[in-house]
Structure 1
Amino acid sequence: MTDQPQRLFAAVDSLLAAVDGGTVLPTPAERVRLREAAGLTQAAVAQALGTRVPSVEAWEVGRAEPTGERLEAYRRLLEGLAQRHPVPAPPSGSRPATPLESPAAPPVRASKRTVTTPHTVPPAQDVSRTPAPALPKATPAVDSPFPNGPLAVLDAEGTAYCPGGVLLECPAATIPQLADWALKQSGLGAVRLHRHGKDSDPLIVLTAQAAARFGLPPALEDRRALRLADNHPVVRELACAKWKLTRRGFGPWARVYRPAEGGRRQCVQLAVLPWEALDTRTWGSAGQLSAPEVAQVLGDYATRLITPRGSAAVCGLELMTALRPPTRPVKDPATDTWMSGPNAGALTQAVDPAPPEAPDEHPVVAARYPRGHQRTLAEVLDEEAFEWIRDPEQLTDDECVKPFAVGIDVNMAFAAAVNRLTVGLGAPVHANRPRFDKKMPGSWLVDLSHIDLDTRLPNPFTPHGLRPEGPAWYATPTVAYAAELGYEITPLEAWMRLESGSYLDGWYTRLRDAYLATMERLGVSAGMNEADFLAAMEHHKDTDPAQAAVLSAIKATVKGGIGKLRERPQGAGYRPGERWPALERPTWRPDIRAAVIATARVNMHRKMLKLAATGLFPIAVLSDCAVYLSDGPTPLDFLPRTPEGKPLPGGFRLGVSPGMVKHEGTQSLMWAVKMLDEGHNPARHIKGTDAAAGGE
């Protein structure tokens, strides 16, 4: 690799010769101007620099910057193009633009004193924001109520880095002063996602150095509660300044607020990076990036989904509420005044679950059963994802000569499951021996044990994939699938929700758009053919680590948001049978969680059944991943086709969209058989190179 710089420079010199013979880069808009002036395509630049087109696209919109050798090579290219294509002379009487200034970019007022972006703007000039590409809820315009975007990352010197390269000066010396600045001077925030919703509060992210500057410890001593003690000086400072903290206190994600003033919220969200606000399971290594990079990662997430305000699970739940607020203004005809009323189609109030839907700790369970009672499947709803392996004795001679075990994974399986899903909006109503209605959300006590299905497939009515042993509670999607398979359904009992709607449709749409936009940034687009898709997926996370972090967070938002619908009690002091805070949320809805998981499991089985009709049976299934034996190492080697060469209708299809599948991993036949013999699930381990260990 020692000749890499020379090879890159030679490629750039060759490119400059074709069109006509430091460390500071021009603004993104100027990069585009120079390339277009030379008649070069992004593909030509990417080829010369030994990178991919999506990376060049990201550089040209300011969402990423080249590093290392490519930074030097890209600068060399732009300098060469600038000599051949200088900035056109401005009209008479106008101020000329500098070589590093975008002539078309509007200025953004950063603070009382002008603060410059080191890599784009020379001293004494305004910071310019580069327009973002078309994405859901794009970066606010300068004339918006929040001209500087949704958030800022603060360093030790008082510089606040915003998405898009905007820099602000923050003079605050204490956390109360920081909150005042964020609300009154920063220009931070985000416009509401629904006309009856609320604008997003400004988010201030504190780096380790900034946290130390404000007197915060480098780590939280209370590892159980994850919050500062009530007598900590910072907490006392907030109280003295009349700021309040929410119930979770001052932790990695702290919300400080005052009563609304003039009808406007006074609330600021803080994220403390050294306290692991950016969980590595959700954000990867984003918490270790520089302040500008963190600002861009979180800004992209905020622009495409919602301003972060906690864990991915919290964000998933907050996104539901932001897209379908529980209330809206209504006029009281008696007084001709406006008041708050329920918003149609939303979850408007907290309701208790039906007894089978409630977790064991819930008061409705404690009131129904004696303490210590172990509920059976005839007493509890058990809708969970598949975890199943095939009996190795069932492997046929034809299967045992296939050398590979290939895993396929459904993209955004739980997000795809909520698309057009009808869920209950109100409290459950009990009925004995009702007639089953597939359009009625609810929980049904039904005996499906008589249904005889091929044991080479997991049984769709249980998470473990074995035949049910008697009557059990099921969510509507599971019972509807039994009816779809042609079996008579005779419920013994039901808890139905008479008021229903597609509550999660908007949630799905926003998550889908955010996911697809991020995947496109990583070089994977919806229009790819299958071979190109598989090739792009091999290294898509290496294309842009920052965008890979955004992708990870989007996926975690889906799973975390669904899981949060049945949040269990937390804290050592909790006693079963007591209520816990989550129960007071309209979005505490275990029945909706059950319906989503049931739909995802049924969707998975429906596609496996289509493949089974062609003689293909999985050897293992884990949630949204299925493992098949194959003659070749890729999904293209076993996924069936029509006589016209198209993917089998109704089966698994390769592609980036939610509900389509990607390659999860490949191992040898012997590895897979050994896993089955030892009782391990190959789907759990097929992705990793250490899978042969067979550990859980």
Structure 2
Amino acid sequence: MRNHPEDALFSRVDALLESLKTPLPDHPERVRLRNSANLSLTQLAHALQCDPQQVEEWETGSREPQGMQRAAYARLLSGLQAIAAHPHQPQDTAGSTPPPAPSTPPPPPRRASRPAATSRKAPPPSLFPRGPLAVIDQADEDLVAYFADQTRADTEADHLLGLVQWALNAGIGSPRLHKNVRDHADPLLVLTPPAMHYLGLPPALTDRNQLRLPASHPELSRLREAGFHFTRSGFGPWARVYLPIKDGKRSCVQLALTGWGALSDRDGWNLPDLRPGPLAALLGTYADRVITPTGSTAVCGQALMTALRPPTRGDYSPAARRQVRAENANALLTPLEPAPPEAHDAHPLAQGRRPEDTMNEEAWDWNRPPTDHEVTAYPHVVGIDINLAFVAAASSLEVGLNAPPRHTVNPPFNHKIPGAWLCDFSQVPHDPRLPSVFTSHGLPPAGPAWYTTPTLAYAANELGLEVNPLEAYLRDDKGLYLAPWYKRLRSAYMQTMADAGVHENMTPQAFLHAMQNLPDAGPELLGLLKAIKATGKGGIGKLREGPRGITAPYQRWAALDTPTWRPDIRAAVIAKARTLTHRKMRKLADLTGRYPLAVLTDCVVYPAHHPTALDVVPSTPDGSKLPGHFHLGVNPGYAKQEGTQPMTWYLQQHDQNLSPARHIKNT
């Protein structure tokens, strides 16, 4: 006879096994039940103690809940079914079975992030009562600091050294984004041109190649005499000055000199022309929601990856009786050489490489002439654009981490191993009404080519093709490196869109109407939104950063010696985004017989009866979403209307060899 501890243990195991069999409604019904109760993904996720992205995956069918989580989800849906069947009947609290309460109390509510260019309530006492940054401008005869909470203060600084010393003691900075990051974010000072003039800095840099102030400049000499150091990149548009670490304390200030091009369009920021106060509010919101700016939006995107996946952490060693550095899981720890087909064209490994030996996993640029039937049946064309397409593709993507690529010949394909695979799909039947998923130009491949794992997994698992790799470079160490990066950017994007009046769970009609009003949200909010989007796109691009300036061919450049120079990860993200869109185009063609006319990156142009995306994107009779199809909505991976034009306009664009998907946006 089992004892009581064993009884309890086996009972829990039996319950877990039984929960695996728990039936669930079909996917459209899950969405309908949630929408009928006016519940958001976030609310369900909170009740089920999971991430909103998981609930979204359960609703679309890309993943199913398991174990006790499945049982809890089934119980919740059953309750929603009962409410939907009797919407006005009072609930019998004694006999009903509400969803189980979380095993741990819910976290305290977060302080709401402030909208751009609006004042916020004073933050609770913290290490950084002044917020993450200050915009420094000249007012009368003084340098004045404008903070993110719309307060201001005199710096009492007469030179750059004094300003840096003031910043280190002014309570400016940001909390760390990950518990294993040793330091908080450094204070950022944004210097306007009048402030730069006040400090004796030139209005422009004479060294146009290096974009650096000469080391002999008096202000830099003054900083060095006081013990401050500069990074190897010197003092340029984005400069960092610091003192040697003393007693474990870090003293560092980041400067953005706008007169030299910091925060400019060239940096990817595309900010409106703002006074110092509103600029501080906008950048403060960006710092709260994304990261304190440290350079271009691309640099910030890459810095966010590292901040959320720091390579090391402090770990107590009993043998050494002290804290030692330990490696963090799912982080990039050390620079790795790429596989030869993954290497940038300027990389030393690319010397002598044949064009056909280069991996070309890039976004589409494809269009075709419409058929006679399409010209006569559809008077309009509609462009639909995927929200944060590459960021969304990174959400659940396993990528190679810290093992160098392992070369093998004639390997069996394994969709669970990230890598570069040489395969020949040139003889695969091709429907010319769809772009080929195997090329960036959308035409069928001419012979063997190198592909990432997402492309081959799609070919094998969804297109039903026989996949026989001839050669491969495989990465055995893998992980979800970009998952927290996706979540952070998704949250920032969704909050900012909500500030602009575009919310989750809107009906398609309400969403399109809200998007029509988006240009009225104000230049500050639109500038913030552009910066968030550029951070995601630029961060992916940084993974394959090319050489800067004039360099000899096939010579190494600085980015190659960083852990985050990973062209294999960039290729996998782009391939995943491309296969996700291809799947949706196939499903739409199977359901409606309608095929795309053009694709450019994340914009797809379709023929339409009416000039609206509602004519293109399918839905069920009750208006709910169809799993696996294009969805109209604000979520990353969903679609918005990019623009509409007459079919005659499309024909003119095509006849002139122009990309209709590039120019369809309404002006």
Short-chain TM bin: 0.7 to 0.9
Percent identity between the aligned chains?
A: 51
8 A Cα contact 2:438 2:445, kept in partner: yes
Question: Which amino acid in 1 is paired with 2:207?
Answer: D
8 A Cα contact 2:269 2:297, kept in partner: no
Distance 1:596 1:318 in 2: 18
SS at match of 1:408: strand
Are residues 1:147 and 2:129 paired?
yes
Distance 2:137 2:113 in 1: 30
1:498-546 deviations in Å (ceiling 9; x for gaps)? 0000011000000000000000111111122111111111131321221
Q: Which runs of 5+ in 2 are unaligned?
A: 1-109
> Please, which of 414, 435, 439 is the counterpart of residue 390 of structure 2?
414
Matched with 1:322 is 307
> Please, which of 563, 575, 581 is the counterpart of residue 598 of structure 1?
575
Question: Which amino acid in 1 is paired with 2:456?
Answer: V
Matched with 2:499 is 521
C-alpha deviation, 1:276, in angstroms: 2.5
Are residues 1:133 and 2:117 paired?
no
Matched with 1:641 is 619
Question: Which amino acid in 1 is paired with 2:179?
Answer: R
Distance 1:571 1:632 in 2: 49
C-alpha deviation, 1:241, in angstroms: 2.2
Pick which of 298-307 and 533-542 moved more: 533-542
Matched with 2:355 is 376
C-alpha deviation, 1:476, in angstroms: 0.5
Matched with 2:420 is 443
Matched with 2:546 is 568
C-alpha deviation, 1:337, in angstroms: 2.3
Matched with 1:16 is none
Matched with 2:92 is none
> Please, which of 373, 377, 391 is the counterpart of residue 397 of structure 1?
373
8 A Cα contact 2:258 2:264, kept in partner: no
TM-score (norm 1): 0.76
Residues 36-435 of structure 1 aligned to structure 2 (within 5 Å)? 133=112, 141-156=123-138, 157-183=142-168, 185-197=169-181, 198-280=183-265, 282-286=268-272, 288-366=273-351, 369=352, 375-377=354-356, 379-390=357-368, 392=369, 394-426=370-402, 427-435=404-412
Distance 2:170 2:519 in 1: 34
SS at match of 1:155: strand
Pick which of 190-199 and 539-548 moved more: 539-548
1:407-432 deviations in Å (ceiling 9; x for gaps)? 11000001100011100002211111
C-alpha deviation, 1:139, in angstroms: 9.1
8 A Cα contact 1:385 1:463, kept in partner: yes
Q: Which runs of 5+ in 1 are unaligned?
A: 1-130, 690-696
Distance 1:471 1:140 in 2: 61
Distance 2:293 2:519 in 1: 22
The alpha-carbon distance between structure 1 residues 353 and 458, as it changes in their structure 2 partners (threshold 3 A), is same
C-alpha deviation, 1:688, in angstroms: 4.6
C-alpha deviation, 1:239, in angstroms: 2.2
> Please, which of 451, 471, 474 is the counterpart of residue 474 of structure 1?
451
SS at match of 1:662: strand
* Larger RCO: 1 or 2 (CA < 8 Å, sep 6+): 2
Question: Which amino acid in 1 is paired with 2:180?
Answer: H
Question: Which amino acid in 1 is paired with 2:651?
Answer: V
SS at match of 2:149: helix
8 A Cα contact 2:361 2:439, kept in partner: yes
Poorly superposed stretches of 4+, deviation over 4 Å: none
C-alpha deviation, 1:647, in angstroms: 3.7
Matched with 1:15 is none
Matched with 1:510 is 488
C-alpha deviation, 1:644, in angstroms: 4.1
Matched with 1:494 is 472
Residues 552-563 of structure 1 aligned to structure 2 (within 5 Å)? 552-563=530-541
Question: Which amino acid in 2 is paired with 1:668?
Answer: P
Matched with 1:631 is 609
* Count of aligned pairs: 546
Distance 1:232 1:403 in 2: 65
> Please, which of 547, 554, 569 is the counterpart of residue 577 of structure 1?
554
SS at match of 1:516: helix
8 A Cα contact 1:409 1:662, kept in partner: yes
SS at match of 2:145: strand
Matched with 1:47 is none
SS at match of 2:563: coil
8 A Cα contact 1:140 1:148, kept in partner: no
The alpha-carbon distance between structure 1 residues 255 and 333, as it changes in their structure 2 partners (threshold 3 A), is same
SS at match of 2:355: coil
CA RMSD of aligned residues (A): 1.8
C-alpha deviation, 1:132, in angstroms: 5.6
C-alpha deviation, 1:556, in angstroms: 0.3
1:262-299 deviations in Å (ceiling 9; x for gaps)? 1122211001122221123633343x201110000000
C-alpha deviation, 1:668, in angstroms: 1.2
Residues 9-28 of structure 1 aligned to structure 2 (within 5 Å)? none
SS at match of 2:262: coil
The alpha-carbon distance between structure 1 residues 142 and 646, as it changes in their structure 2 partners (threshold 3 A), is closer
Are residues 1:543 and 2:525 paired?
no
C-alpha deviation, 1:666, in angstroms: 1.1
